[in-house]
Structure 1
Amino acid sequence: MSESYSLVKGSVPLLISMPHNGQALPEDIAQVMTDKGREVADTDWYMDRLYAFARELGVYLITPKYNRYVIDLNRDPNGVDLYPGANNTELCPTTAFDLSPLYQAGCEPTAEQISQRVKQYWQPYHDALATTLEQIKAEFGQAVLLEAHSIRSQVPRFFQGQLPDFNFGNADGKSCAPELMSALANLDYAPYSMVCNGRFKGGYITRAFGQPTSNFHAVQLELSQRTYMNEQAMTYDEALAQQVQPKLAALVQTLIAFATITR
């Protein structure tokens, strides 16, 4: 347990990371944010609740305390865009997905403040990821990382129309073994739609930690929030969640099986 994240140790060679699940805002930052910013509307809502079943399967789980508006744990600390030429959010976002300002005028984070946030929030999370994956590999011979994300089904800033339900990314084949991506792609997702390396190809964490030649395999799943919640009210829908959780459980079990059997 850390001041900025929570780590649950498991017994199988799979770590699930939920870098956008945190909702907290430090008081000094919240004071200079807009009302919109304090709503933290672009959170990957209820990821920990949706994947609660993974604990029973022995999966390692890591989640941050603080919101992505404080600092985006899935971005390059040097501010390099994930998708050059596309609309990107910053390491320390200044606008919400709907482009509304997150900070009161003149209160946007300075270069010094961003550097401090990297040290205080970003680095500890990434250190924990690295250490945990190394420990898993040392015990099992290899480690698999699932980056668990979610997003509203319609966000015009990033894509047109409605997003598919299951959006897998492995950096266009660079972050995991092809056999792993094939195993995930061949699962039955009906009645949900699924795409691999579409609009989302995996963020910084997937790209940085996915090193299949060194037996570190990383995959990101960007799940449409319409599959498990009321997007307008931003509330968890138990009936919807119960329908999609078997699909999530099947993919988690596939990741575990890959890491356990393939050496």
Structure 2
Amino acid sequence: MTPVETTRGTSPVILGLPHTGTHVPPDIRERLNDEGKKLRDTDWHIHALYDGLLPAATTVRATFHRYVIDANRDPSGESLYPGQTTTGLIPRIDFDNQPIWREGMGPDGAETARRVREFHAPYHAALAAEIARVKAQHGIAVLYDCHSIRPVIPYLFEGVLPDFNVGTDNGRTCDPRIEQATFDICDRAEGYTAILNGRFRGGWTTRHYGRPEEGVHAIQMELTQSTHLADSTETFAYDPARAERLRPHLAEILNSIEAIAYQIAGARP
């Protein structure tokens, strides 16, 4: 299986999907323990949730699981949130602080370097190529990084997460109009809660590519899985009714971002 799937579109908007893949090569899977094999920390069904919401958008999706290597982490291994609890480039534990590798089978430095080369690098090469292509076509590119997470994970954060977690690294990664329009739609969505640059300010992908002064904007959306799953602890089943209630808000966000992107590009000298 190829490490990345790309669907090219004509919109200035690119959807990044680094954590929906569930493929684990057999040589890596045999090193996982029973807990690790559950792949509990997948961004379950996010590619289905966004499918068709902005038909002209480009999508770049990692097919490999984040336990193989996390495509939304700095390949150097540097922490995204210094001083806060998080998981690394190749997680040693899951989001509940449970070991995921069989004893003595966690990856060493050489294995980590191999996985960077064979999985992480191809995903980001594809993403960078699409950003360059879209920017060349439109004079602007907007990366919308799609994520989800369980709403309650005591090991990582206190209490219950809001439903919409919008991250722009405190406004650094995109034009303020993109940030404001996205958060406004989330904030007024009836029956949902939202926060801007809260616990999740945007992962490595958002921070690495978001260079609004260079015409590349990036924004991360972390959705709680209770917004679109029937169960976010064991079966991870997709809930069509919940998803259909959520999808119009996501479509409004993507269409608003696209419209703003065209406005920004048109306003350039």
What secondary structure is seen at the aligned counterpart in 1 of 2:89? coil
Runs of 5+ unmatched residues, structure 2: none
Aligned residues: 261
- Residue type matched to 2:204 in 1? Y
What secondary structure is seen at the aligned counterpart in 1 of 2:53? helix
Q: Does 1:221 align with 2:211?
A: no
CA distance, structure 2, for counterparts of residue 184 and residue 131 of structure 1 = 25
What secondary structure is seen at the aligned counterpart in 2 of 1:122? helix
Asked if structure 1 preserves the Cα contact closer than 8 Å seen for 2:53 and 2:247, the reply is no
CA distance, structure 2, for counterparts of residue 186 and residue 37 of structure 1 = 38
Aligned twin of 2:46: 47
1:66-110 Cα offsets, whole Å, 9 max, x none, are: 100000000001110000000110100111111111111111101
Aligned twin of 1:255: 257
**1:133 is matched with which residue: 117, 131, 134?**
131
Asked if structure 1 preserves the Cα contact closer than 8 Å seen for 2:53 and 2:250, the reply is no
CA distance, structure 1, for counterparts of residue 264 and residue 56 of structure 2 = 18
CA distance, structure 1, for counterparts of residue 72 and residue 190 of structure 2 = 29
What secondary structure is seen at the aligned counterpart in 1 of 2:182? helix
CA distance, structure 1, for counterparts of residue 48 and residue 178 of structure 2 = 25
Compute the TM-score of the two structures, normalised by the length of structure 2: 0.95
What secondary structure is seen at the aligned counterpart in 1 of 2:219? strand
Aligned twin of 1:115: 113
- Residue type matched to 2:171 in 1? G
**1:166 is matched with which residue: 158, 164, 167?**
164
What secondary structure is seen at the aligned counterpart in 2 of 1:173? coil
Give identity over the alignment, percent.
Answer: 37
1:205-224 Cα offsets, whole Å, 9 max, x none, are: 00000000001000000000
Q: Does 1:194 align with 2:199?
A: no
Runs of 5+ unmatched residues, structure 1: none
**1:238 is matched with which residue: 215, 237, 240?**
240
CA distance, structure 2, for counterparts of residue 180 and residue 139 of structure 1 = 20
Instruction: Give how far 1:261 is off.
Output: 2.1
What secondary structure is seen at the aligned counterpart in 1 of 2:35? helix
Instruction: Give how far 1:190 is off.
Output: 1.8
Instruction: Give how far 1:158 is off.
Output: 1.1
Aligned twin of 1:11: 10
Q: Once superposed, what is the RMSD of the aligned Cα atoms?
A: 1.0
- Residue type matched to 1:258 in 2? I
1:229-254 Cα offsets, whole Å, 9 max, x none, are: 02133110011000000011110111
Compute the TM-score of the two structures, normalised by the length of structure 1: 0.97
Instruction: Give how far 1:18 is off.
Output: 0.9
Asked if structure 1 preserves the Cα contact closer than 8 Å seen for 2:85 and 2:156, the reply is yes
Instruction: Give how far 1:180 is off.
Output: 1.2
What secondary structure is seen at the aligned counterpart in 2 of 1:53? coil
Aligned twin of 1:155: 153
